[in-house]
Amino acid sequence: MRTYVMEDRNGLPLYEHLYRCIRRDILDGTLAAGERLPSKRALAEHLHISVMTVEAAYRQLEAEGYLTVRPQRGFFAAPVEQLPLPAASAPVPPEVPEAPAWRLDLRSNRVDASRFPVSAWARLTRRVLTEDIESLLQPVPHQGLTVLRQAIARDLREYKGMAVSPEQIVVGAGAEYLYLLLAQLLGRDAVLAVEDPGYPRIRQVYGKWGAVCRPVPLDSQGVPPEALDAAGAGAVHLSPAHHYPTGLVTPIGRRQALLRWAERADGIVIEDDYDSEFHFTGRPIPTLQSIDPAGRVVYMNTFSQTISPSMRVGFMVLPPRLLERYRRELDFYACTVPALDQHVLARFLACGAYEQHLSRMRKEYRQRRDAVLAAFRSGPFRDRISISEQGAGLHFLLRLDTKEPDPILRDRAAALGVRLGFLSEYAAVPSPAYDHTLVVNYAGLDPAALPEAVDLLARALALS
């Protein structure tokens, strides 16, 4: 009679431990198909356990097909495929380690987490949980909560001059999710142009979907329409308000030329309005969507920079021609943003707290930008750098007077705990014009730590 050690069972109930032991013996052939098992009473006495424990294990084995019961005869091992001998398994890849604690990180375009509007967000969350509990538990519409889309439409109308209907708005969990929806709307046959250099994740998401993605070079005004013709593009993804990472702002003349291209080519312009809320000099140029009479522009934005990167809430405004196709082909997708987040954000927008928060952040980041620029321009490397910035967004370009390759500079900086991002890393098509230029994201820089930051950067770049 088989003997099983019942004491060492890793906290499992007795019946489950016995069930696993017998199942293992059946699977590895120790108990051959058709072999009779001991009666419940006999096995219970042998293992010094209760008959009920054995009965529970046998019932589970029978339910899963490992045992068969023959009336008046007992329990028998069922025929099953025997498990092969375990081969030498490949090593399991280690988990991706958490990001190191950099002494200075100029690459991450993160916002200052300490500025999150905690008290307002907590107050509105409590109100939603007490006042909106019934609607909170209802299914969320495919395009997002009506109350949130109404609040977004009102915000776009009041602060960006965009006359859009809430019905045109689709809410989703961040920009990448919306890129995927757009790729499916445009179809695999579409040729999609992207800015080069540009945010690499845009190319990655569209490319993983299988879209034909063609980088087009920028000139001093952004994407040239003739480059779109040369690429055979039917759609273009661009950031006219403040391009990341070059900082270019597309002027009105070029914007109008792009709209004329879209009409002529029967094309679509995807306007990614990333970072546009932080404009520090003059008035922002109107969005492409607001000057588009032909319904050729898809407008996109998120709340990642303005509220928090962890808030995975973005939205897009579809022109009527794409909205109809979206509802016909893609409305089986459930909205990917939790209902609670949508209810709280809707109240945050509607009560004016969002605009108040933006006003505070613009003032904070303007002061921070001025302090960072002043510290860099008076630092020990001041004669060997040139700074390019447009008075908008949360980053600028810093050109280095050096002959060392970017990878050497990056590795030497990393050894000192300094994380750098170079313009060359954002280019799909390499060009010497992008070398020796840092993309400096300053939003996370504490002004009090600027002297140490300047010293670290001077050592890392060997420019002092």
The full set of domains in the chain, from first to last, is 14-77 (1.10.10.10), 104-110+362-461 (3.90.1150.10), 114-356 (3.40.640.10)
251-297: pLDDT as tens digits: 999 999 999 999 999 999 999 998 787 877 666 678 999 999 999 99
Residue-level pLDDT at 20: 92
| pLDDT(446) > 80 | yes
pLDDT exceeding 90 applies to what percent of the chain? 65
Q: Report the alpha-carbon distance of residue 217 to residue 232 in Å, rounded.
A: 14
109-135: pLDDT as tens digits: 777 777 788 899 999 999 999 998 888
Distance from chain centroid for Cα 150: 24
Q: Report the alpha-carbon distance of residue 186 to residue 173 in Å, rounded.
A: 20
Q: Is 76 helix (H, G, I), strand (E, B) or coil?
A: strand
Average pLDDT over residues 441-448: 86
Q: Is 413 helix (H, G, I), strand (E, B) or coil?
A: helix
Residue-level pLDDT at 447: 85
Rg of the chain (C-alpha set): 31
Question: CA-CA distances (angstroms) from residue 19 to 12, 26, 43, 54, 73?
Answer: 11, 11, 13, 8, 21
Average pLDDT over residues 52-75: 92
| pLDDT(378) > 80 | yes
| pLDDT(60) > 80 | yes
Q: Is 213 helix (H, G, I), strand (E, B) or coil?
A: strand
Residue-level pLDDT at 88: 56
Q: Report the alpha-carbon distance of residue 182 to residue 203 in Å, rounded.
A: 13
Query: Strand pairing of 314-317 and 297-302?
Result: antiparallel
| pLDDT(85) > 60 | no
Residue-level pLDDT at 289: 95
| pLDDT(89) > 60 | no
Q: Label residue 6 by pLDDT band (50, 70, 90).
A: confident
Looking at every residue in the chain, the average pLDDT score rounds to 90
19-35: pLDDT as tens digits: 999 999 999 888 999 99
Contact 288, 255 (CB under 8 A): yes
| pLDDT(86) > 70 | no
Phi-psi label, residue 157: left if phi above 0, alpha if psi -120 to 50, beta otherwise? alpha
Q: Label residue 90 by pLDDT band (50, 70, 90).
A: low
* Spatial CB neighbours of 55, under 8 Å, sequence gap ≥ 6: 40
Phi, psi (deg, nearest 5) at residue 291: -115, 20
| pLDDT(316) > 90 | yes
Question: End-to-end alpha-carbon separation of the chain, Å?
Answer: 81
pLDDT exceeding 70 applies to what percent of the chain? 95
| Of the listed ranges 215-219, 359-363, 391-395, 429-433, the one predicted with least confidence | 391-395
Q: Label residue 98 by pLDDT band (50, 70, 90).
A: low
Contact 343, 135 (CB under 8 A): yes
Of 103 and 267, the structure prediction assigns the larger pLDDT to: 267
| pLDDT(237) > 60 | yes
123-176: pLDDT as tens digits: 999 999 999 888 888 889 999 999 999 999 999 999 899 999 999 999 999 999
Structure tokens at 458: 């001077």
Q: Report the alpha-carbon distance of residue 255 to residue 222 in Å, rounded.
A: 9
Q: Report the alpha-carbon distance of residue 259 to residue 238 in Å, rounded.
A: 12
